[in-house]
């Protein structure tokens, strides 16, 4: 097992009606709260009003910033920074899924560092040494942003989607009422199920790693999501199944499923290139390329792919290559069964040769970065993956 540092400071309030306790936990961190939300579902459902009432009851003053986009954009976050500064916010609360929460994190960084351009912070041109506290009221299980150290923004001008990992991205609290998951559109819920799986698998397929307890946690989480993902898609009102998906969303990306080994996230790099160019749903961009990525690398990580097939999917019999390939097939079939694309065509994109080359260069930062812990994936190898995915 590798040395590791595990840090999860987020206070979790989980259960039916948990949003009524938002003020109770938020009052520990600030008095002037900017509430960041999406395109109106939080308003229509009454959730925004319930959260605001809880905050005001606890003595906080609220202001509002709506319009968070599915792939959060730099320009929108910059508008939020201005709003937060004008209001004098001392805490930012994201209400929604990963998009609203990531936007809240970006606003917190920008508002705490008004002398720096937000993209300079995001691209690490300037150091991030302070931020405002961020809270989350989760409505859509997927990104795990409510407990992760990560956030993602898209720079529309550069057509570049980039992630930032820092302890300043850790939410000080996360309020989770799984009943709210019933309001999420089916496609977005399926994309969330896929994203949860990806966050664990990106940490799982690391060659020559030995972290038995971490493996068991990751495999159990994947089996749980596979089972309950189908259940919530068949019946979004299945509260018990939705609880499992909400909790898996948080645990899949708070670092727990990677303790004692490295992480990869090369599939995310491929997906980010697609989302930046085509604006595709994040989880769908990952499922569209995962199978092609797995076929490219599995021979160089055969023991891990075999263990995954046996422990997660129950594959038995045959040689190691058969077992590994069967695990890959079953994963791709599962994505298809929940309505997720498993090719670029199914994703609704049909890149030509020039576009595939551009995507490959974007994913590898103009071929200056090699992706994957399994084997080096430069622009040429990534190009081959995109061709296979096409």
pLDDT digits (tens, 9 = 90+) for 283-325: 999 999 999 999 999 999 999 999 999 999 999 989 999 999 9
pLDDT at 155 over 80: yes
Note whether 129 and 56 are within 8 A (CB).
Answer: no
Instruction: Return the structure tokens found at 247.
Output: 């909790």
What is the arithmetic mean of pLDDT over 164-183? 96
Overall average pLDDT of the 103-116 stretch: 97
For the segment 70-98, the average pLDDT, to the nearest whole number, is 96
For 242, the 3-state DSSP assignment is helix
Let me know how many helices (H) and strands (E) the chain has, helices first: 16, 8
Residue 47's pLDDT is 94
pLDDT value, residue 209: 80
Q: Helix-strand-coil percent breakdown of the chain, rounded to 5?
A: 55, 10, 35
Provide the pairing of β-strand 134-138 with 150-155: unpaired
Please determine, for residue 239, whether its predicted confidence score (pLDDT) is greater than 90. yes
Q: Domain spans of the chain? A: 11-179, 185-389
pTM given for the model: 0.93
pLDDT tens-digit series, residues 339-368: 999 999 999 999 999 999 999 999 999 999
Q: In the CATH scheme, what architecture does the domain 11-179 have?
A: 3-Layer(aba) Sandwich (3.40)
- Checking if the pLDDT of 262 tops 90, the result is no
Instruction: Please check whether residue 79 is in contact with residue 160, taking contact to mean a CB–CB distance below 8 angstroms.
Output: no
**CATH number, domain 185-389:** 1.20.1090.10
- pLDDT at 110 exceeding the cut of 80: yes
134: burial class by Cβ within 10 Å (0-12, 13-18, 19+)? buried
pLDDT, mean over the chain: 95
Residue 40 has pLDDT above 80, yes or no: no
Which pLDDT value is given to residue 175? 98
Instruction: Please name which of 35, 37, 150, 21 lies closest in space to residue 96, comparing C-alpha atoms.
Output: 37
Quickly state the pLDDT bin for 43 (edges 50, 70, 90): confident
Using 50, 70 and 90 to split pLDDT, how confident is the model at 13? very high
Q: What CA–CA distance (Å, rounded) separates 364 from 370?
A: 6
Distance CA 196, CA 224 (A): 11
């Amino acid at each position: 097992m590798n040395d590791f540092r595990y840090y999860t400071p987020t206070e979790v309030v989980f259960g039916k009606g948990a949003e009524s306790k938002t003020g109770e936990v938020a009052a520990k961190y600030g008095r002037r709260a900017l509430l960041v939300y999406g395109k109106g579902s939080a308003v229509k459902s009454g959730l925004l009003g319930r959260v605001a009432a809880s905050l005001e009851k606890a003595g906080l003053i609220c202001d509002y910033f709506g319009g968070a986009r599915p792939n959060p954009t730099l320009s929108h976050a910059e508008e939020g920074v201005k709003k937060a500064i004008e209001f004098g916010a001392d805490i930012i609360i994201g209400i929604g899924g990963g998009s609203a929460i990531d936007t809240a994190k970006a606003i917190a960084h920008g508002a705490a560092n008004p002398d720096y351009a937000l993209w300079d912070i995001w691209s690490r041109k300037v150091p991030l040494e302070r931020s405002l506290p961020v809270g989350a009221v989760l409505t859509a299980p997927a990104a795990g942003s409510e407990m992760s150290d990560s956030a993602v923004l898209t720079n529309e001008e550069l057509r570049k989607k980039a992630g930032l990992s820092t302890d300043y991205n850790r939410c000080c609290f996360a309020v989770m009422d799984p009943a709210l998951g019933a309001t999420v559109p089916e496609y977005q819920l399926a994309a969330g199920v896929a994203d949860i799986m990806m966050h664990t698998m990106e940490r799982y397929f690391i060659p020559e790693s030995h972290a038995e307890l971490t493996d068991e946690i990751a495999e159990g989480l994947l089996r749980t999501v596979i089972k309950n993902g189908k259940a919530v898609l068949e019946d979004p009102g299945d509260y018990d199944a939705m609880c499992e998906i909400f909790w898996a969303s948080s645990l899949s990306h708070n670092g727990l499923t990677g303790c004692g080994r490295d992480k990869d996230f090369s599939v995310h790099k491929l997906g980010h290139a697609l989302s930046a160019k085509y604006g595709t749903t994040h989880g769908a961009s990952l499922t569209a390329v995962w199978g092609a990525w797995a076929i490219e690398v599995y021979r160089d990580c055969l023991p891990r792919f075999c263990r995954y097939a046996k422990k997660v999917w129950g594959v038995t019999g045959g040689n190691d290559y058969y077992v590994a390939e069967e695990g890959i097939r079953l994963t791709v079939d599962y994505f298809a069964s929940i309505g997720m694309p498993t090719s670029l065509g199914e994703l609704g994109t049909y890149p030509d040769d020039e576009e595939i080359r551009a995507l490959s260069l974007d994913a590898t930062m103009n071929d200056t970065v090699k992706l994957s812990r399994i084997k080096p994936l430069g622009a040429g190898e990534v190009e081959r993956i995109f061709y296979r995915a096409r």
